Amino acid sequence: MRNKAYITFLAILFVFILSGCNTEKASSEEQPKKEEQGNEQLSEEGMGWTHENPVTPTAGTWKALGFKDGSSYKVEAPPANDSAETKKELEELKKLTESRTEDDVEFIKHWQNTASPNTLWLDATEELIHKYGLMGPESSHVHAVVSGAIYTSLTAAYQAKYEYLRPRPTDLDPSIQLPEGMMVPPHPSYPSGHTATAWSAAYMLSYFFPNEKAQLEETAEKVALSREQMGIHFKSDNDAAKSLAQAVTKDIIESLKDDNAPTQYTEVKNTGSSHGAGH
């Protein structure tokens, strides 16, 4: 009788243990399903945050930016030092330098006495970002594209500078006088780096902010002219630089069509300093 009771106890214990194992197995199989359902819910609905006007909700889908090497762009050789074209340019340049006004000199110094012309154009970029109320991803996108255009155009310009090694106007005609305190830059004349920078920035910013096109291009024209008025660049230096900037920015604009990011802003939304806050 005692053996029978013992056997019965063992049978009951075995059933209990087996039942527990099955329960644990079912629970372990059910857990991934719950986690899977939870993840699915998170991907579709997140954790519940909503807003009537969310800022750049699609920024995570924007593609990486890509720029060609500066060496991809070429300009034709400048006129020879002893050519009739260079002689004519020197004559016109000398007239420009001899007729400089105080306002001209002030403008020349503004664009020359800076770490680089990039600095002033990036300041202009930030002003437009502020004016149109662009937020984090949008503002950084504009800055990245404008900087990329300037970089590509400048590397293309410097590739040409050291390929052609064109002398400065003052090398061919030492009688050309620079404004007081100004010095001739220590790199070749053709094409103009300031002008390549100016037109690259103006073209790209005009693309992003089409309502500002006239003002931006007017500034680029003035910057280019100021390099001649200063006495350090031929007109053909500026023409080649503008041509480079056109080619570079045309390629960049074409590449932006498929990067999913916004490209043009026409509504002024000056938001004070708040566009940079709260990121």
Q: What is the pLDDT of residues 184-216, one digit of tens each?
A: 999 999 999 999 999 999 999 999 999 999 999
| Domain assignments of the chain as residue spans, ordered by start | 83-274
Q: What is the pLDDT of residues 33-61, one digit of tens each?
A: 444 444 454 556 778 787 877 667 666 66
CA–CA separation, 108 and 110 (whole Å): 5
Name which of 65-79, 199-213, 229-243 the model is least confident about.
65-79
Compute the residue count for the chain.
279
Name every residue whose Cβ is closer than 8 Å to that of residue 97 and which is 6 or more positions away in sequence: 176, 177, 178, 229, 230, 231
Question: Which pTM value belongs to this model?
Answer: 0.78
Q: What is the pLDDT of residues 106-152, one digit of tens each?
A: 999 999 988 788 889 999 999 999 999 998 888 999 999 999 999 99
What fold characterizes domain 83-274? Answer: Vanadium-containing Chloroperoxidase; domain 2 (1.10.606)
When mean pLDDT is compared over 1-5, 70-74, 164-168, the highest value belongs to 164-168
CA–CA separation, 238 and 195 (whole Å): 6
Q: Which amino acid is at 32?
A: P
